[in-house]
Amino acid sequence: MRTDLDRLLQELDPERTIETAFRRADEAINSFPMRDAQITKWNEFRCCIVEFIEHVESHVLHLRWPVRSAVDFEWGRATRLLVHIYGRGGEKAAFEMARTGNEGGLYGVLKATAMRIAEDLSQAEIAGRVSVFWQTHSAEQVLDAAQQYLTRYGHLLPSEMTEGSAGRIRANFLKVLEEHPKLVQRLRRVGR
């Protein structure tokens, strides 16, 4: 008989969460109508990045059409994304790449942006599913699920997490569940 934990772990399978998001991000890159391989004007770059982010998000989230917003409104979010990818001053570094064609040029910036969006959205989906599981189960049910998890996957976890009565796993079970798809993904790569 399948338990609630089994159902959750099936929903969290990396094929359904992480890999689907990255496949859809690849589709978005391939379907984005890029007018030029290089962009030399700052405002054109800003418009392109914002339009691309909306395009990727609509693909990854499987929306019928992108949700359009004003460039000035969305640029702050785009800047945070570029800073996350390229570090402090990331929006300027990305513009320089798009302007000069260095380090993959505009395509490289768009690809890195799409992959970051896919990672962020897949993590948000995983966290949301785990949160729903957490909120719809009592403390006793969650502890029971933690024990089930340890029985099945404890041998794959670092020994410092499982030593003693595996108190670290029980105390951080929410985080363990959020990281489970990455663990499974790494194991599948090793098995190939």
Q: Tally Cβ neighbours within 10 Å of residue 167.
A: 11
> Are 83 and 59 contacting, i.e. CB atoms less than 8 angstroms apart?
no
Is residue 1 in a domain?
no
Burial class (CB in 10 A: 0-12, 13-18, 19+), 33: exposed
Residue 133 and residue 121 share a domain: no
Residues 110 and 144 in one domain: no
Question: Could you report the per-residue pLDDT of 173-192, keeping only the tens digit for each?
Answer: 899 899 999 988 888 887 65
- Counted domains in the chain: 2
**Does any domain span residue 148?**
yes
The 10s digit of each residue's pLDDT in 119-169 is 999 999 999 999 999 999 999 999 899 989 988 888 877 776 666 666 777
Q: Which pLDDT value is given to residue 4?
A: 93
Q: How confident is the model at residue 117 (pLDDT cuts 50, 70, 90)?
A: very high
Q: What is the pTM of this model?
A: 0.86
Paired tokens of 65: 């059409």
What is the residue-wise DSSP string for 13-44? -TTTTHHHHHHHHHHHHHHS--S-S---SHHH
**What is the domain range of residue 155?**
128-191
Q: Which amino acid is at 52?
A: F
Residues constituting the chain: 192
What's the start-to-end Cα distance of the chain, in Å? 30
When pLDDT is averaged across residues 36-55 and rounded to a whole number, the result is: 93
Tokens read off for 85:
């990818």
Q: What is the pLDDT of residues 70-114, one digit of tens each?
A: 888 899 999 999 999 999 999 999 999 999 999 999 999 999 999
